[in-house]
């Protein structure tokens, strides 16, 4: 009788646990992006490997129906695992990172620019549990319109993965605000992220302040500066 009660109780706990998991929010992790540019352009745009990932994290975080892994958590895992932080991590290692971050979906991809100043951004999602490619999206725009490009690709990924909808008003508000942020401000912010991850606190603070000075309403460097105080 006691054994029967124990088994029944254990089964009940298992059912509750599985039910809780099923009802939990989908968790999305976003890897750094591979810089496909060559020559001088590659060196100039390299900081966007982290900058674009950070932008996409912010975009996807507008969706209250999912959980998005913070960039600092990703950086911590990459450092612990001694993996590349320039977007060149292979899929197998990326899936390992996704599991360590308890993510359901892992987004990774790359960007490339052409002489006319057009950027092509490609993002693919890997189902962490199986390692299979779930969905791929891409978009192109002038490099100067980077934030708008990331916004469009984020909406494609959200729809393609059949995640809960991002409220229209939230998306429109972000798009309107992002249109005002100059590309140079994004580059300064991206360089600040690089400096921060290298342990150059003073350099990071300087770059974040420069990004904020170039566009006083820029939330991202304000948040990073608060973390470094």
The C-alpha angle with vertex 194 and arms to 192 and 198, in degrees rounded to 5, equals 115
Residues 117 and 192 in one domain: no
What H or E segment, with its residue span, contains residue 127? strand 118-127
Count, residues in the chain: 229
Q: How many domains does the chain have?
A: 2
**What's the pLDDT score for residue 7?**
38
Residues 168 and 184 in one domain: no
* CB 60 within 8 Å of CB 154: yes
Phi/psi-derived region of residue 37, left when phi > 0, alpha when psi is between -120 and 50, beta in every other case? beta
> In whole angstroms, how far apart are CA 99 and each of 54, 129, 176, 203?
20, 8, 35, 32
CATH of the domain at 67: 3.40.50.10070
- Encoded tokens for 139: 């978009």
**What's the pLDDT score for residue 12?**
42
* DSSP conformation class of 31: P
- Pairing mode, strands 67-68 and 27-30: parallel
* Residues in the chain, pLDDT under 50: 1-22
Q: Which domain holds residue 47?
A: 24-172
Residues 108 and 142 in one domain: yes
Let me know if residue 133 belongs to a domain.
yes
**What's the pLDDT score for residue 11?**
42
Let me know if residue 28 belongs to a domain.
yes
- Encoded tokens for 162: 């059949």
Residues 85 and 110 in one domain: yes
Let me know if residue 165 belongs to a domain.
yes
């Amino acid at each position: 009788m006691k054994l029967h009660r124990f088994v029944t109780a254990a089964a009940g706990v298992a059912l509750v646990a599985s039910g809780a998991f099923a009802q939990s929010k989908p968790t999305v992790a976003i890897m750094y992006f591979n810089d496909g540019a060559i020559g001088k352009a590659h060196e100039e745009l390299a900081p966007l490997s982290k900058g674009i990932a950070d932008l996409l994290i912010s975009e996807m975080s507008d969706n209250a129906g999912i959980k998005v892994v913070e960039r600092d958590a990703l950086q911590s895992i990459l450092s612990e695992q001694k993996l590349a932080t320039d977007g060149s991590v292979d899929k197998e290692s990326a899936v390992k990172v996704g599991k360590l971050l308890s993510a359901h979906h892992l987004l990774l991809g790359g960007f490339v620019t052409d002489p006319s100043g057009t950027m092509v951004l490609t993002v693919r999602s890997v189902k962490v549990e199986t390692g299979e490619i779930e969905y791929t999206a891409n978009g192109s725009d002038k490099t100067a319109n980077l934030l708008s490009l990331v916004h469009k690709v984020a909406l494609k990924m959200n729809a393609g993965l059949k995640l809960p909808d991002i409220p229209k008003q939230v998306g429109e508000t972000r798009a309107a605000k992002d249109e005002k942020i100059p590309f140079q401000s994004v580059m300064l912010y991206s360089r600040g992220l690089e400096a921060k991850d290298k342990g150059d606190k003073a350099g990071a603070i300087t770059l974040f302040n420069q990004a904020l000075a170039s566009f006083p309403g820029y939330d991202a460097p304000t948040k990073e500066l608060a973390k470094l105080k």
